[in-house]
């Protein structure tokens, strides 16, 4: 199979042949053909369950991952899973998966019955166990008036996982929870609704990414009027309004901002990219947040000689017409034409 067109983000004409699961530069590059991305990426998607309290289902997992694939999402990071099998192999028909073990929740935090429940003093060792596949996910805080995981506990957890050569995602939504996650040196903040902007320079310096998950919170907002808890409504609404200037400020501070939906149905990362644009990220940076920037952050190559044969093609430049991201014309995964 030959693939040619204009590669992003370089905008250089490229021509490849597919060699197994790899791309090989071939022939003379021309400026015709499709606009090419190395696949879209959703860095926060919990494939395999419809709700956090559900038992993992491989049938549901396949359905979710095929929905991602049909949308041109060829890599998915699952920060937190209900799947107890830590070394589950990739399915060659499905998008590449960067996975963690089970959500790690200490007392009083997270949905009742969901995730692996541990005491605070057990968190560092449990996090190393759950990070066997590369990542672990810690529930760093919960409701607006609940205390977050203490900073010393979270720091010990991050240090232990880093010593094992793995990475830590922290769910954080309160101001104090976000602060503790940043000061502990977490690799990513999931949500970060009430993040204090004074922490952004530290995040940039230590490489902590921000995954704001607008898509999920947009869904929460739709049903917010049904909540009888005025404090909760105020907290969510305030966090939503705070998230827009936070994303812009984070980008300007040099923080890696990434696209993750944390939502069902799967395959909606183009919508998350549009939220990042509305928040003030330049269009090219927002598209990168859901493609080449996210792939590089996960240690995956882009459209280069010898890189993975994961390619999505569009009729127009997504950086000029981001709506085209919902209409892929070509989808190649692991060297196979799938769409």
pLDDT, tens only, 281-325 = 999 999 999 999 999 999 999 999 999 999 999 999 999 999 999
The pTM assigned to this predicted structure is: 0.96
The pLDDT assigned to 161 comes to 98
- Shared domain check, 200 and 190: yes
Q: What is the DSSP string of 262-283?
A: --SSS--HHHHHHHHHHTT--H
Statement: residue 122 has pLDDT above 90: yes
The 8-class DSSP code of residue 150 comes to P
Q: Which domain holds residue 240?
A: 39-299
- Shared domain check, 87 and 26: no
- Shared domain check, 239 and 157: yes
What are the residues facing 16 on neighbouring strands? 3, 25
- Shared domain check, 160 and 29: no
Distance CA 115, CA 93 (A): 27
CA dihedral 206, 130, 173, 326 (to 10 degrees): 90
The pLDDT assigned to 137 comes to 97
The domain total for the chain is 2
Which of 262, 292, 263, 287 has its CA nearest to residue 277?
287
The pLDDT assigned to 30 comes to 62
In this predicted model, what pLDDT tens digit does every residue of 180-222 receive, in sequence order?
A: 999 999 999 999 999 999 999 999 999 999 999 999 999 998 8
The pLDDT assigned to 89 comes to 75
Can you tell me which residue has the tokens 């041109």?
72
Pairing of strands 96-105, 73-78: parallel
Domain CATH code at residue 23: 2.30.40.10
Task: Tally Cβ neighbours within 10 Å of residue 58.
Answer: 13
In this predicted model, what pLDDT tens digit does every residue of 268-279 receive, in sequence order?
A: 999 999 999 999
In this predicted model, what pLDDT tens digit does every residue of 92-110 receive, in sequence order?
A: 999 999 999 999 999 999 9
């Amino acid at each position: 199979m030959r693939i040619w067109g204009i590669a992003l983000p370089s905008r250089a004409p490229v021509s490849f042949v597919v060699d197994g699961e790899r791309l090989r530069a071939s022939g003379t590059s021309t400026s015709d053909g499709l606009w090419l991305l190395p696949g879209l990426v959703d860095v926060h998607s919990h494939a395999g369950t419809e709700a956090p309290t559900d038992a993992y289902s491989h049938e549901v997992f396949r359905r979710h991952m095929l929905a991602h694939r049909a949308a041109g999402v060829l890599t998915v990071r699952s920060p937190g899973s209900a799947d107890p099998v830590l070394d589950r192999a990739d399915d060659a028909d499905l998008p590449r998966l960067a996975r963690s073990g089970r959500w790690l929740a200490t007392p009083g935090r997270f949905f009742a019955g969901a995730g692996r429940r541990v005491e605070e003093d057990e968190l560092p060792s449990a996090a190393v166990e759950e990070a066997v596949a590369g990542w672990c996910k810690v529930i760093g805080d919960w409701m607006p008036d609940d205390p977050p995981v203490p900073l010393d506990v979270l720091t010990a957890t991050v240090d232990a996982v880093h010593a094992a050569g793995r990475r830590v995602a922290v769910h954080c939504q309160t101001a104090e929870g976000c602060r503790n996650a940043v000061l502990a040196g977490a690799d990513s903040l999931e949500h970060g609704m009430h993040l204090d902007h004074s922490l952004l320079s530290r995040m940039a310096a230590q490489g902590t990414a921000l995954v704001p998950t607008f898509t999920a919170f947009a869904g929460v907002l739709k049903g917010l009027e049904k909540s009888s808890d005025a404090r909760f409504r105020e907290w969510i609404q305030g966090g939503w309004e705070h998230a827009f200037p936070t994303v812009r400020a984070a980008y300007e501070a040099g923080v890696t901002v990434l696209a993750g939906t944390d939502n069902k149905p799967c395959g909606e990362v183009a919508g998350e990219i549009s939220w990042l644009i509305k928040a003030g990220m330049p269009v090219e940076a927002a598209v990168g947040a859901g493609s080449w920037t996210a792939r590089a952050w996960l240690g995956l190559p882009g459209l280069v000689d010898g890189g993975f044969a994961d390619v999505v093609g569009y009729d127009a430049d997504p950086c000029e017409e981001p709506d085209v991201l919902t209409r892929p014309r070509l989808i190649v995964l692991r060297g196979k034409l799938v769409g």
